[in-house]
Amino acid sequence: MVERVEALGLKAHLSRGTYRTIIGVIGDEQKISAEPLLAIPGVQEVIPVLPPYKLASREAHPQASIVDVAGVKIGGGFLGMIAGPCAVEEPERMDAIGAAVKAAGANILRGGAFKPRTSPYAFQGMGEAGLKLLRETGDKFGLPVVTEVMDPRFVEMVERYADMIQIGARNMQNFSLLTEVGRTRKPVLLKRGMSATVEDLLMSAEYILSQGNSAVVLCERGVKSFDKATRNLYDVASVPLVKGLSHLPIIVDPSHATGRPDLIPSCALAGVAAGADGVHIEVHDCPERAKSDGPQALLPKQYAELVGQIRKVAAAIGKQISTPTQKPKD
Ligand code: PEP
Ligand code: MN
């Protein structure tokens, strides 16, 4: 083993116990990670000392990162308040929702133009027309916009319209998509996959960072569970956990995590209290007519009330909702 380690240009530090021998390997981890060490007779266990997500790790970057989304800060004490409909809908609707979330205190407008739907027969989103509409609505109310991209072929198009690119839960491990958004210089909102571990999430962030895009915001949106009482299982513990492991900002999405408007406000507050750098919530002025995720949408009035409460929790822990520097265009 020592010969093999040294042949790779690494140092081997031997520690012989009564029953086991430990070989500490010193040097560039990448040289050894490609070796099938466990397949060598006598090797019981191979334990990496550093996390496999180098660029995303706290070790690499002890200070918390702040991601700037067209003037809105997420992280380092600043909260991103992302709100809007699940899907981009007709102009009148976008106008009403944009005005309402802006008045309520949101600082980033959301809306999907490409929707990942379980059924191919469900509304798939407005495509490029939706991107245009989202952009126009954001500009009108002075709100940067975030929208999902599902296909590497559309990254360039989405990048042209959006201030932040969302990678949805279903695509968290679409590695070619991650590589493609990593090549852009737009901030990325990376949602946790529904069956992804925290380490999986950080490894996906690493794909984006490794392409030179350092503006990654993670998002806890719940994971699959045996309990059907809520849409997903809201893993609020992942927030402080990620904070310890990584310098990247992490926000919470209690809309998709719970799927229930009656639970969203308290879960949003819990997320902020747990250290989240922002809150992502679906808001619709007429949920019964929404083209997607209507049943989980908060009404503008409910959202406004929640923002007031979030402000208080944030203040109690020395944080604040980021104020956009972008001015409305008229
Ligand atoms: C969404 O944001 O509307 C969405 C589809 O979220 P997720 O990818 O977390 O399911
Ligand atoms: Mn949705």
Per-residue pLDDT of 263-311, as tens digits, reads 999 999 999 999 999 999 999 999 999 999 999 999 999 999 999 999 9
> pLDDT (tens digit, 9 = 90+) per residue, 25-58?
999 888 888 889 899 999 999 998 889 999 999 9
Ligand nearest the Cα atom of residue 291: 2
- What is the 5 CA–ligand 1 centroid distance (Å)? 45
- 232-239 long-range CB contacts below 8 Å, 24 or more apart? 232/194, 232/256, 232/257, 232/258, 232/259, 233/257, 234/258, 234/267, 235/192, 236/267, 236/270, 236/271, 236/274, 237/274, 238/192, 238/198, 239/271, 239/274, 239/275, 239/276
Q: Vertex 126, ends 123 and 127: CA angle to 5°?
A: 120
The atom number, within ligand 1, closest to the CA of 171 reads 8
Task: Say how far apart CA 75 and CA 36 lie, in whole Å.
Answer: 39
Through-space distance between the first and last CA atoms of the chain, rounded to whole angstroms: 69
- What is the 59 CA–ligand 1 centroid distance (Å)? 30
- Both structure tokens of 130: 């939706």
Q: Which DSSP helix (H) or strand (E) runs through 312?
A: helix 300-316
Percent share of the chain, pLDDT over 90:
93
Q: Which DSSP helix (H) or strand (E) runs through 276?
A: none
Rounded average pLDDT over 145-163: 98
Task: Say how far apart CA 206 and CA 216 lie, in whole Å.
Answer: 9
Helix (H, G, I), strand (E, B) or coil at 256: helix
- What is the 56 CA–ligand 2 centroid distance (Å)? 27
Q: Identify the residues whose C-beta falls under 6 Å from ligand 1.
A: 86, 112, 116, 168-170, 191, 221, 256
Best of 110, 190, 221 for a ligand 1 pocket test (most atoms within 8 Å of beta carbon): 221
- Both structure tokens of 37: 């060490």
Best of 253, 280, 298 for a ligand 1 pocket test (most atoms within 8 Å of beta carbon): 253
181 exposed, middle or buried (CB, 10 Å; 0-12, 13-18, 19+)?
buried
- What is the 88 CA–ligand 2 centroid distance (Å)? 11
Contact 91, 133 (CB under 8 A): yes
- What is the 259 CA–ligand 2 centroid distance (Å)? 9
Nearest CA-CA partner of 306 in 254, 230, 241: 254
CA distances (Å), origin 295, targets 125, 130, 148, 284: 17, 21, 20, 10
Ligand nearest the Cα atom of residue 297: 2
> pLDDT (tens digit, 9 = 90+) per residue, 220-261?
999 999 999 999 999 999 999 999 999 999 999 999 999 999
Q: What is the pTM of this model?
A: 0.94
**Identity of the amino acid at 225:** S
Pairing between β-strand 216-220 and β-strand 250-252 as defined by DSSP bridges: parallel
- What is the 321 CA–ligand 1 centroid distance (Å)? 23
Helix (H, G, I), strand (E, B) or coil at 140: helix
- The band of 327, judged by pLDDT with boundaries at 50, 70 and 90, is low
Residue having the nearest C-alpha atom to atom 1 of ligand 1: 86
Ligand nearest the Cα atom of residue 292: 2
Residue having the nearest C-alpha atom to atom 10 of ligand 1: 169
- The band of 330, judged by pLDDT with boundaries at 50, 70 and 90, is low
Contact 209, 191 (CB under 8 A): no
Longest Cα separation, the chain? 77
Question: In the structure, how many helices (H) and strands (E) does the chain have?
Answer: 11, 13
Residue having the nearest C-alpha atom to atom 6 of ligand 1: 168
Residues 6+ away with beta carbon under 8 Å from 142: 102, 324, 326, 327, 328, 329
> pLDDT (tens digit, 9 = 90+) per residue, 76-87?
999 999 999 999
Task: Say how far apart CA 108 and CA 110 lie, in whole Å.
Answer: 7
Q: Which DSSP helix (H) or strand (E) runs through 133?
A: helix 128-141
